[in-house]
Chains A and B, each alone.
Chain A
Amino acid sequence: MLAGLQCPGYPEAKLSSVSERLPCREGQAGTLLALMGEPEQYCFPSIFIYGHRATGKSHVILTLLKELEVPHAAVSCVECVSAGLLFEQVLLAMFGSESATLLPRSPSLSDFVRIYRQFCAQEPAQQTRYIVLERAELLRDMEANLLPGLLRLQELVDDNVTVILLSEIVWDKFRPNTGCFEPLLLHFPDYTKAELLQILSLDSNPSYSPELYSSYINILLGVFYSVCRDLRELRHLAALNFPKFCEPLEKGEAKESDTHKLWRNIEPHLKRAMQTVYLREVSSVQWEQQQMEEKEATALRGLSAHAHVELPYYSKFLLIAAYLASYNPARTDRRFFLKHHGKIKKTNFLKKHEKTSNHLLGPKPFPLDRLLAIFYSVVDSRVAPTASVFSQISSLVTLQLLTQVGHDDQLDSPKYKCAVSLDFISAISRTVSFDIVRYLYDFL
């Protein structure tokens, strides 16, 4: 166990309260404090902190700055659509609203530096000022001089200021081609399983014992750890599913020590959560309602389960024909769709390499004529080429089951691609008793 945070410039009491709020991050907090040094001393002009999401980067740095009452400006680059918003927020936090109002419309970095220098001459820094920029990877997409300028802001404004960039992307992908002032790189490692357990157990419900909650978190991690290590997601899942875990206890069917019974109750529930709430197929509110209402497991309708889309009869065949046109090469149409196709040499026919399986490469575009040819061959009754058939093709495009390839104003030979998966089309073909697999080249 590391000793508490130490730094001569700040009172002990504050440091100990800070270290309580940063579980499992004492090492990183200590390094940051050591780098920051005494408040009046200079710190390195720019620091780049990287690590996976939910590893505590923002939490540690902002807690340190707020609790120790260090002058700082915290800006998230997601909110800054333009550089001007970034400048405004920084000036507002550092010097108050009158400095922010001096910024002209669509300010450049030059204006920002000028106003900063102006105000900093009136109020010189007694302590190091910090500018914290979260989601710093978005700075790369703004003006080209913004990132290099911010990295050497200390030199440009001639003030005791340090810029801290937080990101989950590594620094190598930030470096501009012409080079720039290299910041100090600091890594926030991911939490180990034991640390995750420790942090998640801090959320325990007061009406149950902490050991029960720990065993619940253990079960949760057993299901989700191999898929997701994001602390925020795990906390959310833990909070959502705990009432269901405690259900047998509430109903009196089990006691706290019946771990096996509780596990059997919750495990299928967690597995279902992985397919729905984890994927945001259903909202958290829907999930909670479903827990309260039903006793048996019924399938939750997710957002992307559009297997319940009801199509008219010919639309289904059009879609099937489109799928066949997308995933079969054109030279094989003769063999599949003509009644008397004669002899076909087998050697050209068989696929040689697994990679050329069309189901791996994706759908190919096809012209309208080919679609209709296959459609007429596939549909069992005689269909006249009326406008209603053509309009069904357009509605399939609107439903995004087909995508139109090529320009909108190309009226004479429109090309399409089929945008549905094999499972979907199999379900559709089953409803019209059509064996689609027999007609697919990849499954010969």
Chain B
Amino acid sequence: MLHKCFKCILTCPMLFVSSDTYMAFYLLQVQRIMRERFCHQKLPDKPYGLDSQYKHLLELLRRTAVHGESNSVLIVGPRGAGKTMLLRCALRELLELQEVKKNVLQVHLSGLLQTDDRIALKEITRQLHLENVVGDKVFGSFAENLVFLLEALKKGDKSSSRPVFFILDEFDLFAHHKNQTLLYNLLDVSQSAQAPVAVVGLTCRLVGLSPTDTSKLCEDKSVEEILQKSFNCSKDFRSLHLLLLLALSRVSVSNPTVRAADILEANRMSAADSKANILHGLSILELCLIIAMKHLNDIYEGEPFNFQMVHNEFKKFIQRKSHSIHNFEKPVVIKAFEHLLQLELIRPVDGGVCKVQREYQLMRLMLDHTQVMEALQRYPQCPTDVRQWAVSSFG
């Protein structure tokens, strides 16, 4: 799938066209199609590389829809591996059959939205249009609704009732509901041969990562390196989509092909170290405070510190080594310290609860040694005495 997708981008805009307007129109179509693929997760015709799983799922759902058999299945895979896509392809193919389309009822739930059994039950009742729903409002208490639902499901048998597909996204979150009432009841119904019910769960937990083959996707060495690195970090489609979208967004009439440079730039944008970016924008005073904290961490081996200690280190630097930094008043230094706290570069040790004066509240630095030193390298117009102080080992 990756193969095809990538080849597609690199090869399709290579037409020689006569006029600019035609080019613009053409590029518009390309952008539209690509964006639907990357952003909207539009379904491909067939899921690639998952043939056996697809066949299995399709067969299972068909047996419920056509033959009235109850089934349950759990689809497990890491995020972005294609679970939802697999299911939606299977459903799409199944719904092409006229008898399935007329008969089958579908209930779609998500662990993210239906965070407890009460909400889930109301949603099921709504989606099945049971008699206790008027418009959008579901009447009755939780117990009444549950009884009603189970009665409705149990009343039927193979011949007279309609099969129901229960699709539970983020299945692991349902398992966290209190007493797991709903799950037990649904699975119980699917075991006892009454109304045919298929329970399909999708989850990303309990899984190891499956390797992806990055065989020669393009001729450019640097691009191949980037793709390899990105696959080493996160073996899922979504990060590839992100990278390709960033590259694609640079395509325009003046720049009609996706070149290696675009991919490189996209990689640079997505791989940027966010903390280093934030450190780049600090004022000199705030940077000095970070260096003072780094020294304290080095001397006292990572024990938490408070503002007084940091201020003490800073004052020692000002008195002994510095000529470019002005000796700022304590309140000004406190304001700089509080800015670092708001950026969450430092964190109070105990969540900042008790009645301790703010200068004595114990904190931890959320950066490590290498991050501070790298930030210092990139810092614009850093005074030399500050740089030397950072590099020196004690005091």
Residues of B in contact with A, size category? 35 or more
Residue of B whose beta carbon sits closest to that of A118: B136
Residues of B within 8 A of A51 (CB): 277-278, 281
Complex Cα spacing A148 to B326, Å:
46
- Complex Cα–Cα for A33 and B300 (A): 49
In contact, A227 and B31 (Cβ under 8 angstroms): no
- CB pair B35–A42 under 8 Å, yes or no, is yes
Dominant secondary structure at the A interface: loop
Quote the shortest CB–CB distance from A53 to chain B (angstroms). Answer: 9
| Contact between chains at A110 and B114 (CB < 8 Å) | yes
Q: How far is the CA of A54 from the CA of B111 in the complex (A)?
A: 37
Report A-chain residues with C-beta under 8 Å of the C-beta of B277. 50-51, 170, 187, 189
B253 touches A8 (CB 8 A): yes
In this assembly, does B239 line the interface, its C-beta being within 8 Å of a C-beta of chain A?
yes
Stretch among A14-22, A245-253, A271-279, A372-380 lining the B interface: A271-279
Chain A residues with CB under 8 Å of B238's CB are 181-182
* Pair A184/B245 contact, Cβ less than 8 Å: yes
Is B32 an interface residue, CB under 8 A from the partner? Answer: yes
Out of B123, B239, B342, which one reaches A182, CB within 8 Å?
A: B239
In this assembly, does B41 line the interface, its C-beta being within 8 Å of a C-beta of chain A? yes
Q: Is B149 an interface residue (CB 8 A)?
A: no
B177 CB within 8 Å of chain A: no
Cβ proximity bits B206-242 to A, threshold 8 Å, 1 near / 0 not: 0000000000000000000000000000000011001
Residues 248-270 (chain B) with a chain A CB within 8 angstroms: 249-250, 252-254, 269-270
Give the segment of A88-96, A149-157, A283-291, A424-432 that binds chain B.
A149-157
Contact of B10 with A by CB under 8 A? no
Contact A182 B115 (CB under 8 A): no
> How distant is A353 from chain B, measured CB to nearest CB, in Å?
10
| Bound complex: CA A173 to CA B343 (Å) | 11
Are B357 and A275 touching (Cβ within 8 A)? Answer: no
Taking CB as reference atom, which chain A residue is nearest B270? A185
Q: A38 — which chain B residues lie within 8 A by C-beta?
A: 28, 31-32
Complex Cα distance, B239 from A403, in Å, reads 53
From residue A201, how far is it (CB to closest CB) to chain B in Å? 20
Complex formed: what's the CA distance from A172 to B282 in Å?
Answer: 19
Q: Is the CB of B38 within 8 A of A44?
A: yes
Interface residues of B in 93-149 (CB under 8 A from A): 110, 112-115, 119, 123, 126, 136
User: Would you give the shortest CB distance from B353 to chain A, in whole angstroms?
Assistant: 14
- Say whether A229 contacts B114, CB under 8 Å: no
Complex: how many Å from CA A143 to CA B278? Answer: 27
The reply to whether A43 and B39 form a contact with Cβ atoms under 8 Å apart is yes
- Tell me, yes or no, whether A208 is within 8 Å of chain B by CB: no
A304-B331 in contact (CB<8A): yes
Contact with B along A32-62 (1 / 0, CB 8 A): 0011011011111100001110010000000
A316 to chain B, nearest CB (A): 20
Q: Which residues 223-263 of A have a CB within 8 angstroms of B? A: 225-229
Task: Check: B56 CB closer than 8 A to any chain A CB.
Answer: no
- B332: chain A residues at CB < 8 Å are 227, 274-275, 278-279
Which residues of B lie under 8 Å from residue A279 when comparing CB positions? 331-332, 335
Given the known interface contacts A8-B253, A187-B272, the answer about A37 and B110 at a Cβ–Cβ threshold of 8 Å is no
Are the CB atoms of B31 and A185 closer together than 8 Å? Answer: no
Q: Is the CB of A227 within 8 A of B278?
A: no
List residues of chain B with CB within 8 A of the CB of A360: 306, 308-309, 312
In the complex, chain B residues whose CB is within 8 Å of the CB of A37: 31, 35, 249
B284 contacts across to A, CB distance below 8 A: 225-227
**In contact, A187 and B380 (Cβ under 8 angstroms):** no
- Least CB separation from A192: chain B residue: B380
- Given A44-B39, A184-B245: A52 touches B306 (CB 8 Å cut-off): no
A210 contacts B by Cβ under 8 Å: no
Q: Across the interface, do A229 and B306 meet the contact criterion of CB distance under 8 Å?
A: no
Report chain A residues within 8 Å CB of B328.
Answer: 227
The answer for the CA separation of A186 and B329 in the assembled complex, in Å, is 36
A396 CB within 8 Å of chain B: no
A403 — which chain B residues lie within 8 A by C-beta?
355
- Contacts A155-B41, A275-B331 given; does A145 touch B113 at CB 8 Å: yes
Q: Does A282 sit within 8 A of B, measured CB to CB?
A: no
B35: chain A residues at CB < 8 Å are 37, 41-43
Using CB atoms and an 8 Å cutoff, list the residues of chain A in contact with chain B.
6, 8, 31, 34-35, 37-38, 40-45, 50-52, 55, 102, 108-110, 113-114, 118, 143, 145, 148-149, 152, 154-156, 160, 168-173, 178-179, 181-182, 184-187, 189-190, 192-193, 225-229, 274-275, 278-279, 281, 304, 355, 359-363, 403, 405, 419
Q: List 26 A-B contacts (CB under 8 A).
A: A8-B252, A34-B249, A37-B31, A37-B249, A38-B28, A41-B32, A44-B38, A109-B112, A109-B113, A114-B123, A148-B112, A149-B112, A170-B277, A179-B204, A184-B246, A185-B272, A193-B381, A225-B284, A227-B332, A274-B332, A275-B331, A278-B335, A281-B331, A361-B308, A362-B357, A363-B360
Given A42-B35, A108-B119, 8 other A-B residues pairs in contact with their CB atoms under 8 A: A37-B35, A37-B249, A110-B123, A145-B115, A156-B110, A170-B278, A185-B269, A189-B281
